[in-house]
Structure formats: structure tokens, C-alpha cells
Structure 1
Amino acid sequence: MASVSMTVNGKAVSGEVEGRTLLVEFLREGLELTGTHVGCDTSQCGACVVHVNGESVKACSVLAVAVDGADIRTIEGMAAPDGTLSVLQQAFQDHHGLQCGFCTPGMVMSAADLLQKNADPSEQEVREWLEGNICRCTGYHNIVKAILAAAATLRGEKIAAE
């Protein structure tokens, strides 16, 4: 067993894990943060995307011991402390960027990373950024619209909900 300590959604946490424990397992089972989903266990689907030190990573492909001391942000850390949705989360809701919701946490986390790096992405750039995230319900059209709307809102532009 190994001890791990990290900051998750602004809160210091620690625990004992086996050396083979994946970050997604530590988050879901050790910390009961079940918003990070396990879809494929092969880092193909993107349902488990979280931010590690500000970068999006697939939590099913990272060992918990490898992120000892890191700053982790999960989908639970996206909303404001009072529970109101972030601009990006609200855009997903307003623009119907989700259906079953299984891929949504990973999509939101990936999109948040994109918007940190590029405040004004093109539709093509959004689509390319999401290549590692699989959605089997929406066909991506509304997900892309939601991300572009969130980007516009974050830039101070007013976009009407659909």
C-alpha cells in the first residue's frame, strides 16, 4: 500500500492505495466522487477526463500514486460553491449538449481545458479537441454548439439559448 495526498476540487485529501490503483478508482471509490465516469477502461472514450495540474487527462490511464501532490479538478469541482452551474455546464444544458449524460462529465472537462487554452476556438478546433471523447447519443452537433456558446459567453458576448 502507498499513501497519496492531493488537492481535489480545492480540498486536501489523502488515502492509502495499492500501487496499481487508477486515479479514476481513487476518485470514485476512495473519495466517492462518482461524476467521473468509467466507460471503457482503455482510455478510448474520454468519460473519465479530469484535470491534473490544469491539464485534461484520462483518469483511467493514470495511477493514483503518479499524481501524489497534484491539484485535481473533477466535474464536481466545476460548479460554483453555491451549486450554480459553470458557464460551460449551463451552455451544455441550454444548447442540449447532452442526452443520456454518460459522456457529459468528460466532455465538459475536456472543453474546459480547451477554453483555457483557446478562448475563441473555431468549430473545427472544437471537433478536433473532442476526438478523444466518445458520445453515442448526440452526434456531437449540440455539444459543439454548447462549447462555442460557452466560449462566446466567457468572452463577454451574448448568445441566446435554443
Structure 2
Amino acid sequence: MIKRVALYARYSTDQQNLAPIETQVHLGTAFVEKHGRRLHEVYVDAGVSGASFETRPGLQSMLSEPCQGAFDVLLCLTLDRLSRDLEHSARILKLLHFHEVVELCTVHGGTAERRVSRLSAVEDHVQHEVPELRIVMDELWMRARREQQRRFLRKV
């Protein structure tokens, strides 16, 4: 089965021109073609800080897709294109993992060399190397679990 790839591109400020977006999309598209995958869609946030989460329409649109099984792989130039905030990164990883998006890939430099991180490997790294992020992920899980229980109890 050919894996479907969602490509996410972002640049931070209004002072930057569109070249970084075009470069990110070009490198991402080359990566997809080189590895025999199918590009599902390109999601772009132009002039938006990686510190924001809810105000990024491209990111929000992309994050609504995994629940429909739209893609198997999330690809971005570097992880900081997704987020510069630990809590937001944890939310994104948790959502991708929950919806069985099996890979989070990054493309580095002009060669489109492959860097793949299986989400479980990312979680292992987080648990052992970044304990603060593990605490945030655990807290987010607890919040989601409490909300799930509240919804269930409202139905009963």
C-alpha cells in the first residue's frame, strides 16, 4: 500500500517573503516522489508564529484530517515548523498517535534526505530524554480522559 503524505509548511513572520514556503513545498514534494509515496495535501500557515496553536488555520485543517483516515504520514521541513511550544508538540503527537498516523517525517537541507521518526520512538525519546514534555503529555491525556468520562456520564 502506498502511504499518503500530508505536507505541512510554515513561516513565522510577515516580514519574510513566500520563498521559504515554496522551498518547503518543493523539498517536501521531492521527498514524496523520491520515496514512492502519494501527496495527500499541502497545508500552509504563512506569517504565523510556531508558538500559536489555535490561530493557525493550516495546522488546524491538517489536524482535522487524521480522524478521517486521510493520511498515514505527516511531513514537514523540520519539527519546529510544527510547533515551538512543548505543550502544542505533545498535543500534535498525541493526536497523530491516536489516529494511527504512523510516521512523522522531516526533510533537511536541499537533498531531501530521509529522516523518519516512528511516533512510538518519539514517545520513548520523550519519556527518557525530555521529562518535562512527558509530564505535559500525561497531563493532556488526563484532561482528555476526564472530558471523555464527563461526556459519557452526561449520556447516562
Same fold at TM > 0.5: no
Structure (1 or 2) with the greater strand fraction: 2
TM (norm. structure 1) is 0.32
Using the size of structure 2 for normalisation, the TM-score is 0.33
